Amino acid sequence: MPTAKLTPAYEKRLRDKLEAISKGIEFDPLSNCEPAGMPRWMAEPFLREWVVTPQQTYLITEQQNEIRRVYTDGRGHPSAEDAYPLWEGDSIGFWDGDKLVIHTSQMRAGQYQRTQPYYTEQVETVEIWHKSAPDTMSVDIWAYDPPALAEPWYTKQVYKKLSNPDNSLRIRYWDCGENQNNTVTKTDQGSSDFSHFTFTDKAGKK
């Protein structure tokens, strides 16, 4: 079980999900080629890079090229009239010495990971990014979500710099819809199944 302290309704929702998974019934929204979204963005794999400019910082992950823009030019979040849920939310931040402090709101409802709790559209996060070693980026994260969390949930993510002596690493764009074997449907039981799954050799023989 995760360390999050959930409200009764979301505690039950998580336990129901875990029970279904234990029976082999599971459907991840990523199977629909949806972005992971924030805050799930923090824990997804694949390559990442950070681009720092005077007024914005870009946090980029290779998975479907999900890019978070963090505005550090002093602006606030959009007004309530102009705000609406976004895959990556709306992020504003500031530099505290060599630490980047970020506040994110306006995120779409989702789940932190397959076996972890759900979050609502009221979720907000505070992150503190800093370089904890020459090859290590660490981020402390606090999630606030009154409908789902009985108290703020603290977690920590650590990212390691990869060795790249031949400069061969690249952030590539990929989309799960490019592979015909990634066409996934949701069964009547609520689990995942592949549509038109095929194995074809280079000669085109099945």
Given this model, what pLDDT does residue 30 score?
77
Q: Which two tokens stand for residue 122?
A: 């009221």
Given this model, what pLDDT does residue 8 score?
97
Q: How many CA atoms lie within 13 A of 182 on its CB side?
A: 13
Higher-confidence residue of 195 and 96: namely: 96
The predicted model gives 138-156 an average pLDDT of 97
pTM: 0.83
Handedness of CA 127, 104, 146, 38 (dihedral sign): negative
Higher-confidence residue of 187 and 163: namely: 163
Ordered domains of the chain (ranges, CATH): 8-162 (2.40.128)
Cis peptide before 39 (omega within 30 of 0): yes
Chain segment 66-108, per-residue pLDDT in tens: 899 999 999 999 999 999 999 999 999 999 999 999 999 999 9
CA distance 6 to 191: 25
CA distance 9 to 33: 28
Which of 19-23, 56-60, 144-148, 189-193 is least confident? 189-193
Higher-confidence residue of 137 and 1: namely: 137
| Cα 89–chain centre separation | 11
One-letter-per-residue 3-state SS of 147-192: CCECCCEEEEEEEECCCCCCCCCCCCCCCHHHCHHHCEEECCCCCE
The predicted model gives 44-61 an average pLDDT of 92
**Is the pLDDT reported for residue 127 higher than 70?**
yes
Q: Which two tokens stand for residue 162?
A: 């990869």
